[in-house]
Chain A
Amino acid sequence: MIVRELVLAIGVSLKTSGLAALIASLLAVPAALFLAGRDFRGKRALLLINQTWMAAPTVVIGLLFYFLLSRIGPLGRFGLLYTQAAMTIGQVFLILPLITGFSYTALRQVDRRARLTALALGASRRQASWVVLREAKFALLVAVLAGFARAVSEVGIAMMLGGNIRNATRNITTAIALETAKGEFTNGVILGGILLVITLGINILVQVGLRSRD
């Protein structure tokens, strides 16, 4: 495996999973804020579904979106299957419940008085929500980074929706699967090491974030 291909595969991983983490966060954090802010009928059920969805295997999500995005499927006319867009879409739905759950926990742990005080001091609902978000910002960062780590390390969705096309949808994990299948174990080990270094980098970010909180 030549260096150029290696760099491209790393780029695909960072791009698709980074975008997935961004999109999922934009959807999940507001959802978590909504859930944390009020109690209503069916909320428990909603959280239970979220919790279950967190454990959905990547290949099941891959299968679901395979049917949706395939040319014979309902979204087939967009021709998205086996593109980076398809990988990102699948990964968004993989990490959405994870970020929602973690963000919910984070927001729930913010002292309720923060919100009440803000409201009492004349803040609008939006401003009060902003206060809560700021209180929980480091825990929210952890949630987003955990989502990214999950997306960047999964292989099922990338393989089923991306198709492992060289220099196009081949990312680190599908490249490892391919190199192993070819018997090129050295390349697999190197790629695995790179993936671990990336994950290590994320964890360091999290640690730094947590420390600056104290």
Chain B
Amino acid sequence: MRPFFRSPLTIPSWPAAVLFMAVCPALVTSASEKEPGRNSGGEVTAVDAATEARLVTAGSLETGIPAAAERFLVLATTTSVDATGLLDVLADEFEKETSITLKWIAVGTGTALKQARDGNADVVIVHARRLEEEFLKDGFGVNRRVIARNYFMIAGPPADPAGVAGARDAREALKRIKASAAVFVSRGDKSGTHTRELDLWALAGGPPEKNYLETGQGMAQTLQIATERQGYTLTDTATFYGLPGLKGLGPLFENAPELENIYAVIAVNPARVISVRYEEAMAFITFLTSPRGQKMIGDFKGKAGRPLFEPMAGHPGVDLIK
């Protein structure tokens, strides 16, 4: 009797290879058609229309296909507004009001600003004043508006081996973590939270040399890693309270005035980055700072059922950058 499984090589692999090679370029092409990237808006719309036309002739028109004259906007953002679900709510309402589709990449403040400089975003939501100042000074950003705030906090293992809960201020809390050689999990990704964390470590005499883990990932993922490794981390309150199932991590040090966290929206300067959809970006900024947009931000409750962001557009003097 011939064995069923003689050799993987007897399976005719070349038809599969040919199929794969035929499908791959098609996939890449269709992906790049959808890619907003640096292409001008007109090109993308034309391709979308063509795609739709093909689908209509094929008689397979589905509800999810965008309208031919779709207007859209690319936002590069800090991860917290995405991970909490705030952007889902805002994007729906914004599209209803203006017929502009909001597409966003949640990458952290540092990367968001870099993406904007590279022409891969039209508008950014960020929260690191030092990086924002650079961005504006270099002429890449215009019309910065403060939209919301919350606070940073130190989360960690509920047993609190470093005794962070009793610290007088953030500086002392970090000093205690460093002294106890407990694990500290850092974003390590040049995000707004990472920038603030480094500023705070500078006050506490520099980050620890031991047990200092840099994840290079978003806040939600970093909190997961802190949970698993039973380490401390600096997080924004929105992501911490907005995430369900963070049972292994407790809020240890919070409500400190020096940990205020201000979110701002900035349009990319069309004079500097030609491909920018400036009109759409300004419509988004107008929407966010409008009483309606601000009310949505203030009313937004994550899965924890508590407000996560405090609307701030009504306080134009707050954190003004000239």
Using a CB–CB cutoff of 8 Å, the interface residues on chain A facing chain B are: 39, 43-44, 47-48, 50-51, 70-72, 79, 81-82, 101-102, 104-105, 108-109, 163-168, 170, 178, 181-183
Contact = CB atoms under 8 A, between A and B. Distances in A.
A163 B4 contact: no
Nearest to B10: A105
7 contacts: A39-B3, A105-B7, A108-B7, A163-B221, A166-B216, A182-B110, A182-B114
Given A102-B8, A166-B213, A181-B107, A79 B230 contact: yes
Interface residues of B, number: 30
A182 B213 contact: no
Nearest to B114: A183
A109 B114 CA distance: 56
B272 to A, nearest CB: 17
B114 A105 contact: no
B215 A163 contact: yes
B217 interface: yes
Contacts of B213: 165-166, 168
Given A105-B6, A164-B215, A167-B214, 17 more contacts: A39-B1, A39-B3, A43-B4, A47-B4, A48-B4, A71-B227, A72-B248, A79-B229, A79-B230, A82-B228, A101-B5, A101-B8, A105-B8, A108-B7, A163-B221, A178-B189, A182-B110
Interface string B1-33: 101111111000000000000000000000000
A101 B228 CA distance: 35
Residue from B7, B111, B114, B216 whose CB has the most chain A CB atoms within 10 Å: B216
Contacts of B216: 164-166, 170, 178
A165 B225 contact: yes
A95 B1 CA distance: 29
Contact of A183 (B9, B115, B230): B115
B215 A182 contact: no
Interface of B: 1, 3-9, 107, 110-111, 114-115, 118, 188-190, 213-217, 221, 225, 227-230, 247-248
B228 A183 contact: no
Q: B-side binding surface: helix, strand, loop or mixed?
A: loop
B192 to A, nearest CB: 15
Contact of A104 (B5, B221, B228): B5
B111 A183 contact: yes
A51 B87 CA distance: 43
Nearest to B245: A72
Nearest to A175: B216
A163 B190 CA distance: 17
A108 B6 contact: yes
Contacts of A108: 3, 6-7
Contacts of B214: 165-167
Contacts of B225: 82, 163, 165
Contacts of A50: 5
Contacts of A167: 214
A18 B277 CA distance: 49
Contacts of B247: 72
Contact of B217 (A72, A102, A105, A164): A164
Contacts of A43: 4
Contacts of A101: 5, 8
A167 B209 CA distance: 12
Contacts of B8: 51, 101-102, 105
Nearest to B110: A182
Nearest to A167: B214
Given A72-B247, A105-B8, A183 B3 contact: no
A109 B7 contact: yes
Contacts of A166: 188, 213-216
Contacts of A164: 215-217
A199 B1 CA distance: 38
